[in-house]
Structure 1
Amino acid sequence: MKTLLLQIFTWWNGQTIGTRFATWRFGKRVGEDELGNVYYEGGTTSFGLPRRWVIYKGYADASAIPPGWHGWMHYRTDVPPSKETYVAKDWQVAHRANPTGSPQAYRPPGSLVVAGERPRVTGDYDAWTPGS
């Protein structure tokens, strides 16, 4: 019952009722990434391109799409990562979701969330005043 209510009243917890119906009716599963997000394709856009969408595992956050799937979602490639054998280069780092709003977010010195004292102002800044 909770899942049904979440699908009716929220869009950020996985998929909505409309997305579930469209996926059931038109969606062809293309693949799944290492985070558990599932990718679909079906129908066409107004530009004649195949419509592509993702159903997130958990909270819907666009930064949770790995780079290979991001390229496929934005029509940079027609071959999804699930259908190719891609090997990352040694200089490429693993995908990391955007930590904004989480405990892993960057907190600069002097932030209200970080203990300690804000650094002193150096005096190298002159505020703008009208007419100067």
Structure 2
Amino acid sequence: MAKQWLNKVLELGEVKGGLAWGRFLFDGNRWVTLMEQAPKGKLVGTDYHGNRYFENEGDIYTRKRFVIYAEKRTNAYNPTSVPPEWHAWLNYINDYEPTTFDYKPPVYALKAEVTATGTPKGAWADPDKRNWLKYSAWAPPSSGARGGKA
């Protein structure tokens, strides 16, 4: 029984390898979600960002529904990756599961994208970080450019 429970937690958390175990244990958010809810939760669906949505019928009303974000970096969850149709279901605005309900966005709505704010190009949290030069070195003028007497 305990082995089945642990296997389900590891499968949902996609924990593979030693470094992944360290991140899994360090990340309290994912730890609590997976250890307390995931073994009992039923997978409802997955959105186009890769986020997985679960429902646990045995839990209290406001804690029945939860999401496991597709982002694997520790503490790098971005709630803006939840599309409007899943946001409505997740926050009890409606009870229609987007997998069974044909959601038609308004004509003026754009496709929901992840908001990429707070991480400039050279930020440590940016996965594509580079050593960006923040200055240009001063080069003294050559002696021939003075135009004066030597």
Shift of 1:26: 1.1
Any idea what the Cα deviations from partners look like across 1:23-50, whole Å, max 9, x if unmatched? 44211001000000000010322xx456
Distance in 2 separating the partners of 1:11 and 1:57? 16
- Pairs aligned (count): 99
Q: Which runs of no fewer than 5 residues in structure 1 stay unpaired? A: 105-132
The residue identity in structure 1 corresponding to 2:24 is Q
Cα 1:11–1:51 shift into 2, 3 Å: same
Does the alignment pair 1:54 with 2:67? yes
After superposition, the Cα gap between the structure-2 partners of 1:102 and 1:49, relative to the gap in structure 1 and judged at 3 Å, is closer
Counterpart selection for 1:70 from 80, 87, 91 = 87
Q: Tell me, what secondary structure is at the counterpart of 1:31?
A: strand
TM-score when scaled to structure 2?
Answer: 0.58
Measure, in 1, the Cα distance between the counterparts of 2:62 and 2:69: 22
Counting only pairs closer than 5 Å after superposition, residues 83-98 of structure 1 correspond to structure 2 as 83-98=100-115
Q: 30, 42, 51: which is aligned to 1:37?
A: 51
Structure 1 residues 112-127: aligned runs within 5 Å: none
The structure 1 segments of at least 4 consecutive aligned residues displaced by more than 3 Å after TM superposition are none
- Tell me how far 1:86 sits from its aligned partner: 2.0
Q: Which one has the largest radius of gyration? A: 2
In structure 1, distance between residues paired with 2:101 and 2:59: 23
SS at match of 1:68: helix
Q: How many angstroms does 1:75 deviate by? A: 0.2
> In the TM superposition, what is the alpha-carbon distance from 1:20 to its structure 2 partner?
2.0
Pairwise CA distance, 1:5: 0.8
Name the structure with the higher helix share.
2
* Unaligned segments of structure 2, at least 5 residues: 1-17, 122-150
Q: Distance in 2 between matches of 1:60 and 1:10?
A: 11
Q: TM-score, normalised by structure 1?
A: 0.65
User: Which deviations, in whole Å up to 9, do the C-alpha atoms of 1:70-89 show, x marking residues without a partner?
Assistant: 11111001111111122333
Partner of 2:3: none
Secondary structure in 1 aligned to 2:86?
Answer: helix
Identity of aligned residues (%): 28
CA distance in 1, matches of 2:54, 2:25: 21
Which protein has the bigger strand share? 1
1:85-119 superposed Cα distances (whole Å, 9 cap, x missing partner): 22333221111222211348xxxxxxxxxxxxxxx
